[in-house]
């Protein structure tokens, strides 16, 4: 990997993930400027030593940009502003976005002599803060090479080049809906275990060492659900959105994943009951309230 001559990078979106990625790049020696429409988000970033701006247009032509945005529509309005001035080398979009959007943005960037890659990430706040995220990359070989210095700083090389533009988005959405399905199914299973008088934590540990085990049973339930903490940092609203989007992307090409559609509907029901700001691990409160101290939606948490 060639070290870039210009280590200026903008991070667009300074929420939980974007703010942590900005801090990681700053600590790695990059000259970081952050942008977020929220003054509170900018202030939090500044406390980490990161320079910020309240003007997205002031970042036009900056050599590198990392996007961490809530939706594909915002990506579509942001990228043209970054490309409005010459000088952009690569835009790394970590947003859980839509493949059609990424294809259009990659084409637009190429017209401007720049690279755009879709690189949605997994690993949560801890991965973002330590530069150990994993990424699903959709890009041409040329675009990936241009973006690699920033991508390496964020992932330590832990990324998969899935294919051309948009392919990273597809696989990330599939990853998320599989996680959504597992969160619901593990909750239901542990609910059955508890009904039989079995400690859910014991059941989860036993299952995790066998063929039904997963990161959900081994880590998410013991750490965030059975403790009642529900503090993963990823929201119910975002997971419900991703599950619905995964089904929508499938249907756009004529696929009809029946089980995944059922999962997406289940998350929409939980979203209606718990609200978008609830932690995504609170799905357990909807599918198996007896196993979590937080209890069913609308109930008073156990003391």
Same domain flag for 253 and 201: yes
Structural domain ending residue among the three candidates 126, 146, 165: 165
How many angstroms separate the CA atoms of 90 and 61, rounded?
10
Given a contact cutoff of 8 angstroms between Cβ atoms, the answer to whether 92 and 119 are in contact is yes
Question: Does any domain span residue 300?
Answer: no
Question: Does any domain span residue 66?
Answer: yes
Question: Does any domain span residue 140?
Answer: yes
Same domain flag for 209 and 252: yes
Same domain flag for 121 and 17: yes
Dihedral angle at the C-alpha atoms of 265, 268, 269, 271, nearest 10 degrees? 160
The domain of 154 spans: 8-165
Token couple for 271 = 């979203």
Q: Domain with 236 in it: what CATH number?
A: 1.10.1040.10
Question: Does any domain span residue 1?
Answer: no
Structural domain ending residue among the three candidates 115, 142, 165: 165
Same domain flag for 73 and 185: no
User: Which residues are CB-neighbours of 151 under 8 A, at least 6 positions away?
Assistant: 92, 117, 119, 135, 137, 144, 159
Structural domain ending residue among the three candidates 102, 137, 165: 165
Which residue, among 243, 248, 238, 232, has the nearest Cα to 275 in the 3D structure?
Answer: 238
Same domain flag for 50 and 193: no
Question: Does any domain span residue 133?
Answer: yes
Q: How many domains does the chain have?
A: 2
Task: Give me the pLDDT at residue 123, please.
Answer: 87
Per-residue pLDDT of the chain (303 residues; tens, 9 = 90+): 556 768 999 999 999 899 999 999 999 999 999 999 999 999 999 998 999 999 999 999 999 999 999 999 999 999 999 999 999 999 999 999 999 999 999 999 999 999 999 999 998 888 898 999 999 999 999 999 999 999 999 999 999 999 999 999 999 999 999 999 999 999 999 999 999 999 999 999 999 999 999 999 999 999 999 999 999 989 999 999 999 999 999 999 999 999 999 999 999 999 999 999 999 999 999 999 999 998 999 876 655
Q: Domain with 121 in it: what CATH number?
A: 3.40.50.720
Question: Does any domain span residue 113?
Answer: yes
Same domain flag for 41 and 150: yes
Same domain flag for 159 and 30: yes
For the chain, how many residues are written? 303
Which residue, among 298, 255, 250, has the nearest Cα to 98 in the 3D structure?
Answer: 250
Same domain flag for 13 and 161: yes
DSSP secondary structure string for all residues of the chain: -PPPS--EEEEE--SHHHHHHHHHHHHTT-EEEEE-S-HHHHHHHHTTT-EEES-GGGGTT-SEEEE--S-HHHHHHHHHHHTSSTT--EEEE-S---HHHHHHHHHHHHHTT-EEEE--EESHHHHHHHT--EEEEE--HHHHHHHHHHHHHHHTT-EEEEESTTHHHHHHHHHHHHHHHHHHHHHHHHHHHHHTT--HHHHHHHHHTSTT--HIIIIIIIIIITTS----S-BHHHHHHHHHHHHHHHHHTT---HHHHHHHHHHHHHHHHH-TTSBGGGHHHHH-GGGSTT-STTSPPP-
Same domain flag for 150 and 219: no
Same domain flag for 116 and 186: no
Same domain flag for 125 and 20: yes
Same domain flag for 50 and 158: yes
Pairing of strands 64-67, 51-53: unpaired
Question: Does any domain span residue 298?
Answer: no
Token couple for 216 = 């959900």
Question: Does any domain span residue 2?
Answer: no
């Amino acid at each position: 990997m060639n070290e870039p001559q210009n280590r200026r990078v903008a991070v667009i979106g300074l929420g939980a993930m974007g703010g942590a990625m900005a801090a990681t790049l700053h600590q790695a020696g990059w000259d970081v400027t952050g942008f977020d429409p929220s003054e509170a988000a900018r202030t939090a970033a500044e406390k980490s030593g990161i320079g910020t701006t309240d003007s997205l247009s002031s970042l036009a032509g900056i050599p590198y940009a990392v996007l961490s945005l809530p939706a594909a529509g915002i990506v579509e309005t942001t990228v043209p502003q970054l490309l409005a001035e010459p000088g952009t080398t690569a835009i790394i979009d970590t947003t859980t976005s839509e493949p059609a959007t990424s294809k259009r943005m990659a084409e637009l960037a190429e017209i401007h002599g720049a690279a755009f890659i879709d690189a949605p990430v997994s690993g949560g706040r801890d991965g973002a803060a330590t530069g150990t995220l994993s990424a699903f990359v959709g890009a041409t070989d040329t675009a990936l090479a241009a973006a690699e210095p920033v991508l390496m700083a964020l992932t330590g090389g832990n990324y998969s080049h899935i294919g051309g533009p948009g392919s990273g988005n597809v696989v990330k959405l599939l990853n998320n809906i599989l996680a959504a399905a597992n969160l619901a199914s593990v909750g239901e299973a542990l609910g059955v275990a508890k009904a039989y008088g079995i400690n859910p934590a014991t059941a989860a540990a036993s299952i995790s060492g066998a063929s039904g085990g997963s990161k959900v049973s081994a880590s998410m339930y013991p750490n965030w659900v059975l403790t009642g903490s529900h503090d993963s940092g990823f929201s119910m609203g975002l997971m419900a959105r991703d599950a619905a989007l995964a089904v929508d992307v499938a249907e756009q090409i004529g696929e009809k994943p029946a089980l995944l559609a059922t999962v997406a509907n289940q998350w929409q029901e939980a979203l209606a009951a718990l609200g978008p700001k609830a932690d995504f691990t609170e799905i357990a409160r909807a599918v198996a309230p007896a196993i979590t101290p937080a209890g069913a939606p609308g109930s008073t948490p156990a003391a």
